[in-house]
Structure 1
Amino acid sequence: MRSAETMQEKSPVSEETTVRRAAVLEAPQKVSIKEFELPEPGEGEVRIKLEGSGVCASNIPVWEGRDWFDYPVTPGEPGHEGWGTIDAVGAGVKDLKEGDRVTALTYKAYATHDIAKEDTVVKLPESLSGKAFPGEPLGCAMNIFNRSDIQKGQKVAIVGSGFLGSLLVQLVKSAGAEVIAVSRRQFSLDTAKEAGADHLVQMDDHYKIIEEVKELTGGNFCERVIECTGKEWPLNLSIELTGTRGKLIVAGFHQDGMRSLNVQMLNWRGIDMISAHERDPQQYIKGIKTAIDAVEQGKMDPFPLFTHKFSLEEMGQAYEHLTERPDGFIKALIIN
């Protein structure tokens, strides 16, 4: 996982404009903050002075440690949910300038600065001035919502009511559908209710959940089910909750190997199973722009879901909250 790092580690200096500070995962569950020479943007690039970055659940394996990761990890990785203000512009950049407040697709965002290509940067409107805006996960939620093809009046189960699940509750309700939120933690269910969920189902007993959703849907189950957990059991549960010729949207990030799935049920009910993960950067950018519109139109409100804020020096605590998920935790931000 370690990649070339052009910045050279150097002794601490007082001039903020000449130093980039970054979190470095030295080993599993061991993080330090180091200082490096400030990078200069290249052709078609800008440098962003980061206000902060979201902390993503996809970071859990590299924090916990897996055999396929190399340590130390490149400084700033795996942060990829940054936003801030452009403070340097490379040659050939046409539509961005110093002082523009932006969010971007960058990959070393657990830091004070990061470099981004012009076509992976989205300007933030004045309406978002002073507000945290981790564009990548918000764009991800919009892309998943659009892939889900939600229709007014449908019954939609959302399995997993963390940050992503709660955003999707809001978006699905904005489309006029009925939402059944299924989640393990009571706090997550309470959050889903605040987001607009019509029904709350505790994710405890497999067959009890199936019977409850069957009753809520008049025996027909759901036209759409969105799985947001990234775990095998909830994914199979989601298959059972999807009605005949319904659509199962896999939004959870399944990152720890193979899954055993109930393909018999998929076949029997004629279920369309859709992986809603995008890999085209421009599709992500489209999602981020759509997310900005959704926030401005009141269809999505991420701000109450940013429950915890940490400084760069508290990066270890942010990772611990991400893995342990104490009551009250939905989404952590690193704030510079």
Structure 2
Amino acid sequence: MLAAVVAGPGEVRIEEVPKPEPGPGQVRVRMLGCGVCASNLGPWAGPEWMSFPTAPGDLGHEGWGFVDAVGEGVPSIREGDEVATLFYRSYAQYDVGPAEAVMKLPRFLEGTEFPGEPLACAMNIFRRAAIRPGQRVAIIGIGFLGAILTRLASLAGAETIAISRRQFSLKVAQRMGAHETFALEERHRTREEIADRLSGQMFDRVIEATGKQVPLDLAGDIIGERGRLIIAGYHQDGPRMVDMQQWNWRGIDVINAHERDQRIYYRGLREAIQAVEDGRIQLRSLLTHSFPLERLGDALNATRDREDGFLKATVSIS
């Protein structure tokens, strides 16, 4: 099979490697595509902790495709089933993993780009945010994840505020139901603009979805007493500092909304499929850029640079 190998910082090549074989309890999936996650950007930049070359297909974890081989002891998945996967080496023509890490897609999604893992992630973050009607909710960072969370929060009856550095993203947030939008500029200027326009009212929930220090600082500035600060951004470029006096004084709950339990991801994936089916998530408008596997490097660079019009890149695999 063909698989992408990250050979060094900013360098990817396509290699021919042996096709993986499913063991007991596993299935092999012929990948049709894979989403590109912002968490790939740390390894792509080549930090000291990263080892090159990567394993074939490594970093790809937002895949979908159809089952083409089933190992022993797998009663519920059949060859030919179209599935979303929770595998981890899906920048390749084939990937293999536990049968409980795939979910059969309903007929209405067959032939559709469906990066299930980040959609499950969005549903899990929303669940842990515990948003209720009438709450004031701020979402900092409107990319793919932030756009979905804006939509879910507004549909839940919250007064939803979107904060992002890109004007394009703010327009997306408005389409997703945001009641107000603010440009993310210098921390104190943004904080003052929010305070002025909202008459000093603070937020019951703040979701930080950037993975950067300054937005995390801003989240602490605008969260109200006994509010809940949900960290959805993936902070991977070094330690963070927080104003613990501020957090202590306000008595806030801080939730790191990343999951590692595959059962929770599976539940989130099921909820995401339902949300797409009932129209709460309008997937086509969120997948803005597509590249063939041979141009994975361009897809990663697009994810890093986030030009106007960009929300989410996928790679198609033939």
Q: CA deviation at 1:95?
A: 0.2
- Structure 1 partner of 2:144: 163
Matches within 5 A, 1:50-65: 50-65=31-46
Q: Partner letter of residue 283 of structure 2?
A: P
- Structure 1 partner of 2:53: 72
Q: CA deviation at 1:264?
A: 1.2
Gap change, CA 1:216 and 1:150, over 3 Å in 2: farther
2:254 pairs with 1:273: yes
SS for the counterpart of 1:111 is coil
Distance 1:286 1:298 in 2: 18
- Structure 1 partner of 2:168: 187
- Aligned-pair Cα RMSD in Å: 1.0
Q: Partner letter of residue 125 of structure 1?
A: P
1:50 and 1:84 in contact (8 A); partners too: yes
Q: Partner letter of residue 48 of structure 1?
A: V
1:159 and 1:225 in contact (8 A); partners too: yes
1:170 and 1:196 in contact (8 A); partners too: yes
- Structure 1 partner of 2:288: 307
Q: Deviations over 1:133-156 (max 9, x none)?
A: 111000000000000000001110
- Structure 2 partner of 1:220: 201
Distance 2:211 2:186 in 1: 18
2:232 pairs with 1:257: no
> Which 4+ runs in 1 deviate beyond 6 A?
none
Q: CA deviation at 1:254?
A: 0.5
- Structure 2 partner of 1:232: 213
How does the TM-score come out when normalised to structure 1?
Answer: 0.92
Distance 2:189 2:61 in 1: 38
2:131 pairs with 1:147: no
Distance 1:247 1:330 in 2: 26
Identity of aligned residues (%): 49
Distance 2:200 2:184 in 1: 19
Q: CA deviation at 1:221?
A: 0.6
Mean Cα displacement is larger for which, 66-75 or 212-221?
Answer: 212-221
- Structure 1 partner of 2:275: 294
Q: Partner letter of residue 294 of structure 1?
A: A
1:213 and 1:221 in contact (8 A); partners too: no
2:301 pairs with 1:320: yes
Q: CA deviation at 1:50?
A: 0.7
Q: Partner letter of residue 257 of structure 1?
A: G
Q: Partner letter of residue 179 of structure 2?
A: D
Gap change, CA 1:122 and 1:216, over 3 Å in 2: farther
Distance 1:84 1:186 in 2: 34
Structure 1: 5+ residue stretches without partners: 1-19
Q: Partner letter of residue 136 of structure 2?
A: K
Distance 1:36 1:264 in 2: 54
SS for the counterpart of 1:24 is strand
Distance 1:55 1:329 in 2: 12
Distance 2:283 2:224 in 1: 30
SS for the counterpart of 1:91 is coil
Structure 2: 5+ residue stretches without partners: none
SS for the counterpart of 1:168 is helix
Distance 1:70 1:305 in 2: 32
SS for the counterpart of 2:17 is strand
2:17 and 2:56 in contact (8 A); partners too: no
Aligned length: 317
Q: Partner letter of residue 40 of structure 1?
A: E
Q: CA deviation at 1:271?
A: 1.0
Mean Cα displacement is larger for which, 295-304 or 150-159?
Answer: 295-304
Q: CA deviation at 1:328?
A: 1.1
Distance 2:50 2:193 in 1: 42
2:109 pairs with 1:116: no
Mean Cα displacement is larger for which, 153-162 or 211-220?
Answer: 211-220
2:207 and 2:229 in contact (8 A); partners too: yes
Q: Deviations over 1:229-255 (max 9, x none)?
A: 000110010011111111100000011
Distance 2:282 2:71 in 1: 34
- Structure 2 partner of 1:138: 119
Q: Deviations over 1:116-172 (max 9, x none)?
A: 201111111112122111110000000000000000011100000011100101111
1:138 and 1:287 in contact (8 A); partners too: yes
Q: CA deviation at 1:322?
A: 1.2
